[in-house]
Structure 1
């Protein structure tokens, strides 16, 4: 019996002798099956290949970005966030080896794992078992969990306080339970937001965007984007750390608001008609 991992999205499934024919995460409209077909691997095979390692970057005091190189699956970034109440792992990556485990333990371990949405669940249960900690996922995304575990706690409502400094906020959009994480003490007390791609930092790192599906280029309705911007308007944050090690370093809340306005203008044609 093996815990198979989809090589396209990095999601790990319940143990079985043979992998499924298709990945449930990749086969719906927000993801994709590659033209070459469905492919699977295990964490043990990833480690044994001696091909991968996790790179660490301290973004600011107490915030570490963890990214697998060469890129595997979606290539997202996880963040280890140090707080006086314990460390939070925001989002997850599939690759977990002895070197990564040692480094995290040296930094104080993990008190809790918090997830933005199903594309980044990856090997979350492996991480939780290794560091003996709970996983927090919004209950609206419960059906997308492919590897069950008693460590997973499904929360409800619009906000969840993980520790005094960290609060999860459900924004929806990309997924119904799509969530972001607010670190009140980040950027010297001015506030930091970790967004996954619920709010996607663009390559120029001066705008953000909002999509139902990024690879398939399916937009969100204007009303939903307006609601997301309104929900974030009164939350203090000057920086955003996004899914692919991208960041907004100044006036991040203002960037979200102006980006939402531009997005809505594009959908109602007022942006393109003015060009």
Structure 2
């Protein structure tokens, strides 16, 4: 494909990871700044930017993994700088789907993914959790399904399966664009397990005694800055979530086993009843 040839070389450039947010860029040398930090949903590092090569990040940020639910694996870095999202691998008889990226994957983690059958389809909710997606694309050459509305953030990747509002890339695993947090923000619904991988559409505070139990729930346009969503954005969230029969809700940071569609819709309805806000609401107050 002649039109693709100039782009192919760009994907062979070295990757550099932003210490402040974990976003990956491909450059001939360390970039001067990070576009994701400069975006209004994040913050500029007060001590200046630091960019790491993949090898430097692998040495600094150990990667861990665990099977959180049968057939659903979580990968994360600890310790880590930046926002430190988790990555998920959902295994199915029809192939595996990777959703979200942790900051960096170790070689051992990539080998573990290979032992589980690799990755047939790769996706993410929004650019804050793209992170190590380039590693998975380079190793497994999966279909990369991302909303067209966030295409501008995917320069370190090759999008092979853009979609508008909904896509079912594997049976029972459905991507839905919610917009809101980003124009292309999307969620993944695992129909068989009743899990909604909600990206940054929602945020939880967890019980210190039980990391699978959420105590509060909130929604934001920009979590770091405490910016609320607008009523129209909340109505879009409600429209998407109301049609999904989920009993668990997982962000890139929390896996809330006690929050499902009823609790999420109760939050959104309470927010729509008054002026926009971004503060956490105790689940006990939502009935």
Question: Would you say same fold, with TM above 0.5?
Answer: yes
* 1:197 corresponds to: 200
Q: Distance in 2 between matches of 1:129 and 1:40?
A: 20
Partners of 2:139 and 2:163 lie apart in 1 by: 26
Q: What is the distance in 2 between the residues matched to 1:223 and 1:9?
A: 28
Picking from 173, 192, 211, the partner of 1:185 is 192
1:123 CA displacement: 2.7
> How many Å apart are 1:72 and its aligned residue?
3.3
Q: Aligned partners of 1:93 and 1:203: how far apart in 2? A: 20
Over residues 197-256 of structure 1, what are the superposed CA-to-partner deviations in whole Å (9 max), with x where a residue is unaligned?
123234351443221111011111123112211221121111111110x12324500011
1:6 alignment partner in structure 2: 18
Task: Describe the SS at the equivalent of 1:20.
Answer: coil
Does residue 254 in structure 1 map to residue 262 in structure 2? yes
Equivalent in the alignment of 1:217: 226
**8 A contact 2:98–2:119 mirrored in 1:** yes
CA displacement 1:170-221 (0-9 Å, x = unmatched): 00100011000011111xxxx1111111232343514432211110111111
How far apart, in 1, do the equivalents of 2:177 and 2:218 lie? 17
Alignment of 1:146-157 (within 5 A): 146-149=155-158, 152-157=159-164
1:81-116 Cα offsets, whole Å, 9 max, x none, are 111111111101231221101211111111111110
- Superposed displacement of residue 266, structure 1: 4.7
Supply the RMSD in Å over aligned alpha carbons: 2.1
Moved >4 Å (runs of 4+): none
Q: What SS does the corresponding residue of 1:257 show, helix, strand or coil? A: helix
Tell me the number of residue pairs that the alignment of Structure 1 and Structure 2 aligns: 261
Tell me the distance in 1 between the aligned counterparts of 2:24 and 2:160.
18
TM-score by length of 2: 0.85
**Which runs of 5 or more residues in structure 2 are unaligned?**
1-12, 208-213, 280-287
Q: Give the unaligned 5+ runs of structure 1.
A: none
Are residue 29 (structure 1) and residue 40 (structure 2) matched? yes
TM-score (norm 1): 0.88
3-state SS of the aligned residue for 1:153? coil
